[in-house]
Amino acid sequence: MSLPKVLVVEDEPDLIRSVEFAFRSAGFEVSSTTRGRDALSMISTRPPDVVLLDIMLPDIQGTEICRQLKGDPKTRSIPIIMVTARADEVDRVVGFELGADDYVVKPFSLRELVLRARAVLRRAEPGPAPSSIAVGPLVIDTDAHRVHVDGKEVVLTAREFRLLSTLVSREGRVLTRDTLLTEVWGLTLHVETRTVDTHVKRLREKLGAAGSLIETVRGVGYRFEDPGKES
């Protein structure tokens, strides 16, 4: 069985050595770089299972790297943990809006960082769901992480796909914004709930005719409802 691969993108050599030691001790295969362009090249050549990404890099902002990775169908499913000295809520929101899977503020516990990496890897694993779900014009291929509406493929980010899958898996049930933040973003701390609203709005726009299947329950959250299903 191969070891899970983690790529550390960080411009502080001392911190890189500490993180490398922690992850190797925890049974990970570790590679690292101090430059964003090198990270993109390494990911393209040999995709890791998870990326630890610093925001402040000498050549490219980590947010731009995150945007590129989550915008590319070949790499958008790779979990990204943003690692930064910025603790402002707005920075966390920007990271999550770009598709980051988690956010860790320096200084941090190395043990906690390893646990967070394991958590995002577990969330990225496919669950025991049917390989295909069809609701009206919407067809979700859970194995291939593909979505079609009226026979045409709709390209979703990993976060959007997870959001849609979570809503569909609880069909008919109202999910609060806090619940979605926990289950889709993996957050236990309070983060601005507009993050959920922004993603739902974008998801509806991409789904087009199937966007109306996601209902807003005012003041509470969202519900996926198939109007053609018999009660």
- pLDDT tens profile 27-86: 999 999 999 999 999 999 999 999 999 988 999 999 899 989 988 888 988 999 988 876
Tens digits of residue pLDDT in 167-211 = 998 888 888 888 888 788 876 555 566 888 999 999 999 999 999
**The two structure tokens encoding residue 149:** 């509406």
**Length reported for the chain:** 231
Backbone φ/ψ region at 99: left (φ over 0), alpha (ψ -120 to 50), beta: left
Sign of the torsion formed by the C-alpha atoms of 167, 172, 176 and 177: positive
The DSSP symbol for 132 reads E
Higher pLDDT residue, 228 or 112? 112
The structure tokens 């995709």 sit at: 47
Task: Give the H or E element holding residue 13.
Answer: helix 13-25
Structure-token match 């320096």, residue found? 106
Tokens at residue 34, please?
């101090």
Predicted local distance difference test score (pLDDT) of residue 127:
52
Q: Is the pLDDT of residue 119 over 90?
A: no
Q: Estimate to the nearest angstrom the gap between the alpha carbon of 220 and the chain centroid.
A: 23
Q: How many CB atoms neighbour CB 231 within 10 A?
A: 3
Query: Which domains does the chain carry?
Result: 5-124 (3.40.50.2300), 132-224 (1.10.10.10)
pTM score of the predicted model: 0.58
Question: What is the C-alpha to C-alpha distance for residues 116 and 180, in angstroms, rounded to an integer?
Answer: 18
